[in-house]
Amino acid sequence: MNMKYDNNVKLMKGNEALAEAAIRAEIDGYFGYPITPQSEILEYLSKNFNEEDGVVLQAESEIAAINMVYGAAGSGKRVMTSTSSPGMSLMLEGISYITAAQLPCLLVNVSRGGPGLGTIQPSQADYFQSTKGGGHGDYRLIVLAPNSVQEMADFVFDAIYLAEKYRNPALILSDGTLGQMMEKVRLPEKGSLPKSIPEWAAKGKIKNKERNIIYTSAVDPTVMENLNKELQNKYALLQQEVRYELSQIEDAEILIVAFGLSARICSKAQEMANDNGLSVGLLRPITLYPFPSDTIYKLAQKVQAILVVELSAGQMVEDVKLVVNGSCPVFFHGRMGGEVPTPDEIFFELKKITDKQAVKN
Amino acid sequence: MIRGTIKVDTEICKGCELCITACPQKSLGLSNNINSHGFKYVELIQDNCTGCINCALVCPDSAITVYRQSKNSIKQNKKVTV
Amino acid sequence: MINKCEIEDLELVYEKPKTLTDTPMHYCPGCGHGVINKLIMEVIDELKIQDKTVGVAPVGCAVFEYRYMDIDMIEAPHGRASAVATGVKRVNPDKYVFSYQGDGDLAAIGTSETIHTVNRGENILMLFINNAIYGMTGGQMAPTTLIGQKTSTSPFGRSVKNNGFPLNITELISKLDGAFYVTRHSVHKPNSVRKLKKAIQKSFEYQKENKGTCFIEVISNCPAGWGMTPLKSNEWLEENLIPKYPLGDIKVPTKN
């Protein structure tokens, strides 16, 4: 993908930057339902999306919205939806269908504290739901986790690119803070993502050609298993798209693994720790699926300990532990229900780990 | 009388008998034979078919094709042998 | 058997539409679905819109429709066909889009989608096949099941006390401003088949003119689900279903 950027720097909310990026990524349609803290996406598009370029439709529910996405994506168009955690739960059935039918589309979850109605404050407790499939059946989403307003915009292009390349929905897993906060952003320009109607699309049967059928069912389990194998082969191939960011990992004794908003807070804590004589590195997974397993494993052989920080009771930490497989101790610090840790808090955790490791050594 | 006839795809027919009831001429009946799916299929039992297409209209499996003597032959009042 | 019909100058007057595939239908013997599938494809054939039509069929007996209809199709989740059809139509306004849903799909799990699709006046054709039972899953009670009607989940007959009243969703949606043409038909007699075909024809023509939602309910039978022969089921349909769901136009376009 050849990204070109606007020369102007703008001050924008994360949600609005994402919405503007969607327009510039030349989507044909947006279907969504209002829910805090992401309603600005629907609002921004309702105001700024040119009717001639496509459709912005407020559906009667998230269930309807995701199924409109399913239909529109099935006809080969570039479409998206956005929601927040409770809405995402409602969409999961449709997402399972879209994934089984191997349709590309962009999903956005500006997640909030849960479970239940929860709060409208940021959370990363949808990690399991996002990276393990979420709905029924063996499927995965391509998951990108931004940690700035700039990435809220950029990842629209990355996610659509990957979704169309692999014919699989791609999810931007953001949170209430990234959606609501304002930062400077340089927006990608139109034309960075070439668009064409794919051959498989259900858009009217072409004469003398086989009809196109978008379906997800089979009576014969052999057929269904083969469909599953196709998906799994695709996910194996998808591993090459893994993305992450490393900071100060040379000679690091402790490695922090954190994504999105918590990675941002951790980078401040890392700075404090290193100023105080600790040696702390940071790995920020940018793609949560595929997960940067190899890199984490390699680093686990070098460091004394790993600290995973999440805005949840500890979800990604399970993946980290699985990868580390006992190579080094893995600690966790998390806040839940919309609470966000301070850099001090994480610095304190880092000191505790250093003390523990010093005692051991 | 206008004459017609039908052709039944006996492999597709499920012997539901809806066409038998729909036929105003009572031309149709179930065969004593069965097809490879185990269904008795429909056949003409009388030579009084008028090609009205009622049977084909109600056939859920589109198993019936209907023919009718051409308008031309009706005009010329050609003799029809069945 | 009458073997030879030696009629001079034979003319083909009726055959299976070319838009229907040769795949044998999975429907039970005598089931109305086959007739309705055929009629839709006949109309698509005659209007020559095979290359411009996308059909949406959800979970239920409709689910394998794509095997028979030689057009591009999308299989929808249970209840969501009208939302899926909305998605297709909104980004392809030049295409003909129809949904084909059963009573459980359209009037139970998909009630919300049904009402809102019609209310928005989506420019699609919604076909609603009402046989007062869940056929595909083995004969459970539907929202349209009659009072006293026995199904596998109302084995002693549907009771008002426990299950409420049969849902007359077609009358309900006909009150919505987005509904342009609402009509109810059946396929149990040759003439009713002819009438339904005309309604489907009209609906596609209205769709071409962007008139709004066209909604056709088809009262159909379910011989296997009702535990009757096909012939008996059509009699039962006429005696029981049609009085509750009377045939005819419910909302017709007002003449300007």
Structural domain spans, chain A:
10-240, 243-360
Compute the distance between CA of residue A32 and CA of residue A39 in angstroms, rounded to an integer. 9
Q: Which residues of B touch C (CB under 8 A)?
A: 3-5, 11-12, 14-18, 21-22, 31, 39, 43-47, 49, 51, 53-54, 56-62, 64-73, 78, 80-82
Query: Is the per-residue pLDDT at C4 higher than 50?
Result: no
Mapped onto helix, strand or coil, the DSSP state of residue A20 is helix
Query: Is the per-residue pLDDT at B82 higher than 70?
Result: no
pLDDT in tens, A124-157: 999 999 999 999 999 999 999 999 999 999 999 9
Residue B80 binned pLDDT confidence (cut-offs 50, 70, 90): low
* Cα angle A21-A337-A179, degrees, rounded to a multiple of 5: 15
Compute the distance between CA of residue A261 and CA of residue A263 in angstroms, rounded to an integer. 5
User: For the stretch C5-26, what's the b/e string if a residue is b when 16 or more beta carbons lie within 10 angstroms of its beta carbon?
Assistant: bebeebbebbebbebbbeebbb
Q: What is the extent of the structural domain holding B38?
A: 4-70
The predicted structure's pLDDT at residue C211 = 97
Compute the distance between CA of residue A199 and CA of residue A180 in angstroms, rounded to an integer. 39
With contacts defined as CB-CB under 8 Å, which chain C residues touch B59?
34-35
Compute the distance between CA of residue A113 and CA of residue A122 in angstroms, rounded to an integer. 6
Question: Mean of the per-residue pLDDT values for chain A?
Answer: 96
pLDDT in tens, A45-92: 999 999 999 999 999 999 999 999 999 999 999 999 999 999 999 999
Token output for C168: 């007359």
Partner-chain contact C113 A97, CB within 8 Å: no
Query: Is the per-residue pLDDT at A211 higher than 90?
Result: yes
Token output for B55: 């049977």
Q: Are C51 and A206 in contact (CB under 8 A)?
A: yes
Cα–Cα nearest to C89, from C212, C203, C202: C212
The predicted structure's pLDDT at residue A356 = 83
**Do A and B make contact, counting contact as 3+ CB pairs within 8 angstroms?**
no
The nearest CA of chain B is from the CA of C74 a distance in Å of: 22
pLDDT in tens, C19-37: 999 999 999 999 999 999 9
Partner-chain contact C54 A202, CB within 8 Å: yes
Cα–Cα nearest to C37, from C53, C13, C16: C16
Question: Mean of the per-residue pLDDT values for chain C?
Answer: 95
Cis upstream peptide for A290 (omega within 30°): yes
Q: Which of C1, C13, C25 sits opposite B61 (nearest CB)?
A: C25
Query: Is the per-residue pLDDT at A188 higher than 80?
Result: yes
**Amino acid occupying residue A146:** P
Looking at the domain assignment, is residue B75 inside a domain? no
Which CATH architecture group holds A243-360? 3-Layer(aba) Sandwich (3.40)
With contacts defined as CB-CB under 8 Å, which chain C residues touch B61?
24-25, 27, 34
Partner-chain contact A71 C85, CB within 8 Å: yes
pLDDT in tens, B33-77: 999 999 999 999 999 999 999 999 999 999 999 999 987 777 676
The predicted structure's pLDDT at residue A360 = 67
Nearest CA in chain C to A52: C91
> CATH fold of C32-141+169-251, please?
Rossmann fold (3.40.50)
Supply the DSSP string of chain C, one letter for each residue. -------TTEEEEE---TTB-SSPP-SPTT-HHHHHHHHHHHHHHHTT-GGGEEEEEESSGGGGGGGTB-SEEEEEPTT-HHHHHHHHHHH-TTSEEEEEEEHHIIIIITHHHHHHHHHTT-SSEEEEEE-SEETTTTSEE-TTPPBT--BTTBTT-B-HHHH-PPP-HHHHHHTSTTEEEEEEEE-SSHHHHHHHHHHHHHHHHHHHTT--EEEEEEE---HHHHTS-HHHHHHHIIIIIHHHS--EEEE-PPP-
Average pLDDT over residues A201-209: 94
Q: Complex ipTM, two decimals?
A: 0.96
User: For the stretch B13-35, what's the b/e string if a residue is b when 16 or more beta carbons lie within 10 angstroms of its beta carbon?
Assistant: bbbbbbbbbbbebebbbbbeeeb
The predicted structure's pLDDT at residue C3 = 46
Which 8-state DSSP code applies to residue A241?
G
With contacts defined as CB-CB under 8 Å, which chain A residues touch C80?
63-64, 67, 70, 94
Q: Which of A31, A54, A204 sits opposite C54 (nearest CB)?
A: A204
Residue A361 binned pLDDT confidence (cut-offs 50, 70, 90): low
Token output for B72: 């031309």
Compute the distance between CA of residue A74 and CA of residue C89 in angstroms, rounded to an integer. 11
Looking at the domain assignment, is residue B66 inside a domain? yes
What is the 3-class SS of C114-143, one letter each residue? HHHHHHCCCCCEEEEEECCEECCCCCEECC
Q: Is C181 left (phi over 0), alpha (psi -120 to 50) or beta?
A: beta
Q: Are C68 and C96 in contact (CB under 8 A)?
A: no
If you compute the radius of gyration of chain C from its CA atoms, what whole number of angstroms results? 18
Compute the distance between CA of residue C168 and CA of residue C171 in angstroms, rounded to an integer. 6
Average pLDDT over residues A345-356: 95
Residue C254 binned pLDDT confidence (cut-offs 50, 70, 90): confident
Cα–Cα nearest to C85, from A202, B11, A304, A93: A202
Looking at the domain assignment, is residue B34 inside a domain? yes
pLDDT in tens, C208-228: 999 999 999 999 999 999 999
Query: Is the per-residue pLDDT at A25 higher than 50?
Result: yes
Partner-chain contact C72 A97, CB within 8 Å: no
Token output for B21: 């009831």
3-state helix, strand, coil in chain B (%, to 5): 20, 30, 55
Query: CA torsion, points B48, B53, B55, B60, in degrees to nearest 10?
Result: 160
pLDDT in tens, C163-194: 999 999 999 999 999 999 999 999 999 999 99
Supply the DSSP string of A304-351, one letter for each residue. SEEEEEESSSSSHHHHHHHHHTTSS-EEEEE--TT----HHHHHHHHH
Q: Which of B44, B60, B67 sits opposite C10 (nearest CB)?
A: B67
Query: Is the per-residue pLDDT at A4 higher than 80?
Result: yes
The predicted structure's pLDDT at residue B63 = 98
Q: Does C85 touch chain A (CB under 8 A)?
A: yes
Nearest CA in chain B to C233: B18
Looking at the domain assignment, is residue B81 inside a domain? no
Q: Does C113 touch chain A (CB under 8 A)?
A: yes
Cα–Cα nearest to A64, from A39, A100, A33: A33
Which 8-state DSSP code applies to residue B47?
S
Average pLDDT over residues A116-122: 96
Q: Which helix (H) or strand (E) holds A238?
A: helix A221-238
The nearest CA of chain C is from the CA of A288 a distance in Å of: 28
Q: Does C111 touch chain A (CB under 8 A)?
A: no
Token output for B57: 């209209």
Average pLDDT over residues C244-256: 91
Domain A10-240's class?
A: alpha beta
Average pLDDT over residues A295-307: 98
Residue with tokens 């089921």: C233
The predicted structure's pLDDT at residue C8 = 65
Q: Are A213 and C76 in contact (CB under 8 A)?
A: no
- How many domains are contained in chain B? 1
Strand positions, DSSP E, A77-147: 79-83, 106-111, 142-144
Length of chain C: 256
Cis upstream peptide for A115 (omega within 30°): yes
DSSP strand pairing (A213-214 vs C72-76): parallel
Reported pTM: 0.96
Cα–Cα nearest to A165, from A240, A82, A225: A240
Q: What CATH number is given to the structural domain containing B32?
A: 3.30.70.20
Percentage, residues of chain A above pLDDT 90: 96
The predicted structure's pLDDT at residue B72 = 77
Q: Which chains touch A (3 or more CB pairs under 8 A)?
A: C
B82 burial type by CB count under 10 A (0-12 exposed, 13-18 middle, 19+ buried):
middle
Q: Which helix (H) or strand (E) holds A32?
A: strand A29-32
Q: Are B65 and C12 in contact (CB under 8 A)?
A: yes
Terminal-to-terminal C-alpha distance of chain A:
48
Partner-chain contact A74 C51, CB within 8 Å: no
Looking at the domain assignment, is residue B64 inside a domain? yes
Q: Which chains touch C (3 or more CB pairs under 8 A)?
A: A, B
Q: Are A172 and A155 in contact (CB under 8 A)?
A: yes
Partner-chain contact B62 C189, CB within 8 Å: no
The predicted structure's pLDDT at residue A1 = 78
pLDDT in tens, A79-102: 999 999 999 999 999 999 999 999
